């Protein structure tokens, strides 16, 4: 029997001309028929079908929605960004992008205060205050979507509403000042609290002025040396602030501070002694920042920096012409301003005033200078590292995951070098039985751990956004963290734990700062980090007593009359309650948050032949020397050593195809 002729399979994608002529189309563009007939070959776009996974489709839809919203609100290119970089970042698949929790447009919240005409409050990515507001808003909206909620917040001047009237033309009031011996006591108190980090006083010049004031014509001295008299009043205000621990409406030392600010000369007449004027403005900025008037403090610091730049303090000044003492004073003053700029700007979440490529001023090497200068050098390096982290990790644009990993690797290499310097410095200067670690050195270690916490915080934020986006969905809908990112998250957890240990040691020795805000900021930042980690990655955070330690430290600062600490504790308690609610929602849905990194197999090896690593196992990541998550009492003095950081960098090099999430086990094609 003759076989039936084979039916030719119809092409699923035919051009318009072949369809109209009802002839077979080759399916390529241009097709064979159109080429032979020399006519244009066009295909109907709606008939082109591509099969993709549901997750990829959701990511594409989310990305398209974000790009559509951005196009409606911002039609111009991002300032100073090259077009090529934008195209390259947009051409990548959604899974290849770093899931940055900071996007455009900027995040704001409604202003409910009457002391500002602005209708909104900008929430900067790097500001700890804004970070608290972001977390609270994001979690409240997801956990309680039906409740209209305005978070309580305090703006500049809300906690301590100090006011003064300028009387720069009036004769200075010298009544009510302390005696000479008590004034010297207050001056030495200020030296102890500020001397190693904030070098804003020239001791010889200041004491000479004091002797002329107390032993000469006080009215004439205060009138002719008006800027110094303002500095004198500021020193008295700091001294009283460090010693006074009473709970009052006004901050400690406010009576002297208000008198100083009312006598502050205007900018047109402050040029008589510019170095002294810089010191005075910086002291005023530090006091304002300490009472949570951060914006006002930043304005005074900015003026001090601009005057310093006009005097060339940011450059290498000629020692032979100016003298060694003058150059040393200018150098110490400049690097103090540099540290203040880095800290104040990061606290407000705004760009730094000083650019590193403009600075040529010299600074001593930590290994080739006295202990005091070495600590200043280490503080400068850590401040610079912090600004680098904030300027790279906290960028708002979508970036490829490879770019994020490369930036992280560069930061880790810098941290490894700094850790090596810190280790050498500690072993050299504090190894003897009577050479206990100074308060200034502990501040440097806390700043080092802050850099680690700030660098790894966006990783926890990315996990939080993933959990909130999938809230109420089955566990398999949540993607898993890859081992490399787990290692980085663990470093942040350990640094936060070590920070609280160092701060608890200051409490035990009676050295915890109750006026300067830095110990409060270290405590609050570490506590928030551990609160997030305990809820999001409980297997990595482990069973720690860090929450109790944080509240104990905050209570110690509150007991000394610090009202800012009361507000921070209330913010922390509110966030802890929200994260407890998040954990309860997963528990009630029988859907506990999991940090398992890969599906478990019988032989402990995944489908690619790599060793599985799960929290609690003794298995090690490639090149990682032991488990980086260690018990609290076994953390070394530095917490994260240079060897640990180098191992993490090796881990990054080991991963040829970096990613943040592990893909889900199976994805249905649609």
Per-residue DSSP letter, 266: P
Banded pLDDT at 594 (limits 50, 70, 90): very low
Q: What is the pLDDT of residue 88?
A: 43
How far apart are alpha carbons 292 and 125 in whole angstroms?
A: 19
Banded pLDDT at 623 (limits 50, 70, 90): very low
Q: How many CA atoms lie within 13 A of 473 on its CB side?
A: 10
Q: Which residues pair with 122 in a beta bridge?
A: 108
pLDDT of 626 strictly over 80: no
Would strands 661-662 and 480-481 be described as parallel, antiparallel, or unpaired? antiparallel
How far apart are alpha carbons 622 and 144 in whole angstroms?
A: 42
Tens digit of pLDDT for each residue in 78-109?
333 333 343 344 444 444 555 555 555 556 66
Three-state secondary-structure class, residue 108? strand
Q: What is the pLDDT of residue 14?
A: 82
Check the CA dihedral 286-291-292-293 and report its sign.
negative
Banded pLDDT at 243 (limits 50, 70, 90): very high
Among the listed ranges 126-135, 186-195, 561-570, which one has the minimum average pLDDT value?
126-135
How far apart are alpha carbons 226 and 262 in whole angstroms?
A: 12
Chain mean pLDDT for the chain: 76
Q: The domain 10-43 belongs to what CATH superfamily? A: Zn(2)-C6 fungal-type DNA-binding domain (4.10.240.10)
Banded pLDDT at 400 (limits 50, 70, 90): low
pLDDT of 313 strictly over 70: yes
Three-state secondary-structure class, residue 588? helix
Average pLDDT for residues 428-433, to the nearest whole number? 70
Banded pLDDT at 3 (limits 50, 70, 90): very low
Helices 518-536 & 483-508, crossing angle to 10 degrees?
140
Banded pLDDT at 435 (limits 50, 70, 90): low
Per-residue DSSP letter, 10: P
Place of tokens 């000629």: 318
Tens digit of pLDDT for each residue in 104-138?
555 666 655 555 556 656 666 677 777 888 788 88
Check the CA dihedral 330-336-342-348 and report its sign.
negative
Give the pair of three-digit tokens for residue 516. 């300067």
Banded pLDDT at 327 (limits 50, 70, 90): very high
Q: Is residue 170 within 8 Å of 308, Cβ to Cβ? A: no
Computed on alpha carbons and rounded to an integer, the radius of gyration of the chain in Å comes to 30
Domain parsing of the chain, residue ranges = 10-43, 125-154+368-428+437-591+642-669, 168-362
Measured between its terminal Cα atoms, the distance across the chain in Å is 43
Tens digit of pLDDT for each residue in 44-55?
754 445 555 666
Residue 355: which H helix or E strand, with range? none
Tens digit of pLDDT for each residue in 502-554?
999 999 999 999 999 999 999 999 999 999 999 888 888 776 667 889 999 99
Three-state secondary-structure class, residue 245? coil
Tens digit of pLDDT for each residue in 366-379?
767 788 888 889 99
């Amino acid at each position: 029997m003759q076989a039936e002729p084979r039916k030719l399979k119809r092409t699923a994608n035919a051009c318009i001309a072949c369809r109209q002529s009802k002839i077979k189309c080759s399916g390529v563009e241009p097709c064979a028929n159109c080429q032979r007939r020399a006519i244009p070959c066009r295909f109907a776009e709606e008939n082109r079908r591509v099969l993709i996974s549901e997750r990829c489709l959701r990511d594409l839809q989310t990305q398209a929605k974000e790009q559509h919203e951005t196009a409606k609100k911002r039609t111009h290119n991002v300032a100073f960004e090259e077009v090529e970089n934008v195209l390259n970042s947009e051409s990548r698949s959604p899974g290849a992008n770093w899931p940055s929790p900071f996007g455009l447009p900027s995040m704001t919240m409604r202003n409910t205060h009457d002391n500002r005409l602005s209708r909104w409050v900008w929430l900067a990515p790097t500001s700890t205050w804004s970070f608290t507001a972001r977390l609270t808003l994001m979690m409240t909206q997801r956990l309680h979507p039906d409740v209209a909620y305005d978070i309580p917040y305090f703006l500049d001047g809300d906690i301590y509403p100090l006011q003064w009237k300028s009387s720069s033309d009036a004769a200075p009031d010298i009544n009510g000042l302390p005696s000479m011996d008590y004034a010297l006591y207050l001056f030495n108190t200020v030296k102890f609290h500020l001397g190693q980090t904030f070098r804003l006083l020239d001791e010889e010049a200041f004491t000479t002025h004091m002797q002329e004031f107390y032993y000469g014509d006080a009215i004439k001295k205060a009138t002719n040396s008006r800027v110094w008299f303002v500095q004198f009043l500021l020193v008295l205000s700091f001294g009283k602030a460090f010693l006074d621990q009473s709970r009052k409406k006004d901050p400690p030392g406010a009576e002297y501070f208000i008198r100083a600010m009312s006598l502050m000369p205007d900018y047109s007449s402050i040029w008589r002694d510019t170095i002294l004027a810089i010191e005075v403005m910086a002291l005023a900025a530090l006091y304002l920042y300490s009472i949570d008037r951060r914006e006002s403090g930043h304005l005074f610091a900015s003026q001090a920096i601009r005057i310093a730049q006009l005097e060339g303090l940011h450059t290498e000044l000629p020692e032979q012409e100016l003298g060694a003492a003058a150059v040393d004073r200018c150098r110490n003053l400049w690097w103090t301003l540099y540290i203040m700029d880095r800290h104040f700007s990061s606290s407000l979440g705004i760009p730094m005033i000083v650019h590193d490529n403009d600075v040529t001023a010299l600074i001593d090497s930590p290994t080739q200078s006295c202990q005091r200068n070495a600590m200043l050098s280490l503080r400068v390096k850590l401040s610079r590292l912090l600004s680098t982290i904030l300027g790279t990790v906290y960028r708002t644009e979508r970036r490829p995951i490879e770019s994020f990993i490369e930036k992280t690797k560069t930061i880790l290499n810098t941290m490894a070098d700094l850790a090596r310097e810190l280790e050498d410095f500690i072993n050299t200067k504090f190894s003897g039985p009577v050479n206990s670690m100074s308060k200034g050195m502990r501040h440097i270690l806390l700043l080092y751990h802050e850099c680690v916490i700030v660098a790894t915080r966006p990783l926890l934020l990315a996990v939080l956004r993933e959990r909130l986006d999938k809230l109420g969905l089955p566990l398999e809908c949540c993607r898993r963290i890859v081992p490399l990112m787990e290692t980085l998250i663990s470093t942040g957890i350990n640094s936060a734990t070590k920070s609280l240990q160092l701060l608890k040691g200051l409490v035990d020795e009676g050295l915890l700062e109750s006026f300067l805000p830095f110990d409060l900021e270290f405590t609050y930042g570490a506590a928030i980090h551990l609160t997030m980690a305990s809820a999001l990655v409980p297997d990595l955070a482990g069973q720690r007593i860090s929450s109790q330690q944080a509240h104990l430290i905050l209570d110690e600062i509150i007991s000394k009359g610090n009202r800012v600490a009361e507000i921070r504790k209330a913010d922390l308690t509110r966030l802890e309650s929200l994260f407890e609610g998040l954990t309860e929602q997963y528990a009630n849905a029988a859907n506990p948050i999991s940090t398992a990194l890969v599906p478990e197999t019988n032989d402990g090896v995944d489908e690619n032949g790599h060793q599985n690593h799960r929290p609690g196992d003794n298995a090690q990541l490639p090149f990682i020397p032991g488990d980086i998550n260690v018990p609290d009492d076994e953390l070394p003095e530095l917490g994260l050593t240079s060897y640990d950081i180098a191992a993490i960098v090796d881990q990054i090099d080991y991963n040829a195809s970096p990613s943040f999430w592990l893909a889900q086990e199976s994805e249905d094609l649609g």
